[in-house]
Each structure stands twice: as structure tokens, then as C-alpha cells.
Amino acid sequence: MEVQIFGVRKSADTRAALRFFSERRIRTHFVDLDERPPSPRELERFARKFGAQGLIDRGAKRFIELGLQAAHLTDTRWLEKLVAEPLLLRLPLVRHQNDLTIGAAQDAWKQWCKE
């Protein structure tokens, strides 16, 4: 089993995801969004499941700094904004084969480990 984790090291939820899989000796491929932004296709995969609005962390410091509270953008425009500003994402984004989660989703991760 192998999972791919998109996040930033300063995020507590990202560190918790890395720790969760590490404790279970599950290989992880960590994509540090501070070093490399997510690809548009990867974000589209998550957006198909959760919607573009579901990817946005409206409580994020960067969201407030950019003054996006009153922004009314199309889903396509939000995805463009999320690629350019990955700190607007709810983190971590975790993928195992075709299964996807956003945020700390330990119940789903435990199900993956049972398979």
C-alpha cells in the first residue's frame, strides 16, 4: 500500500497524516506544497469528488490576507487560484489509488489500511 499526501510541513493536520501512515509502516509520497504547487489535473481529481468549494480553507490565514471572504468565483477560477496559492487548500489532501480525502480523515484512512 502507498499513499500520496499533499500538504505543508507547518500544518498540524499534514504532520498528523504523515505520522498516521508512518506508524503503520505504510509508504507515503509527500508533496510539499511550499516547494511545488499541485498540478491542475490533481486538483481537478479532488474537485470532482468534493467540489471546488470543498477544497478551500476559508479560515486559512492566506485566505484572509488575500481578502477572498467576499469573492464569488467560478469553480474553474477557484481551481486556478488554488494552483497559484496552495495555502488556500484544506490540508492535507490524501490519495490512495482512487480514494481521496481532505483534511484529517483518520476513519477513512483506517478503512484503507484494512483493505
Q: What percent of the chain is modeled with pLDDT above 90?
A: 79
* Low-confidence spans in the chain with pLDDT less than 70: none
Read off the pTM.
0.90
The confidence score (pLDDT) of residue 1 equals 86
User: How much is the pLDDT for 70?
Assistant: 86
Enter the C-alpha cell of residue 58: 476559508
Each residue's pLDDT tens digit, 39-57: 999 999 999 999 999 999 9
Per-residue model confidence (pLDDT) at position 115 = 74
Go through the domains of the chain in sequence order and give each one's CATH number. 2-114 (3.40.30.10)
DSSP 62-107: HHHHTT-TT----HHHHHHHHHH-GGGB-S-EEEETTEEEES--HH
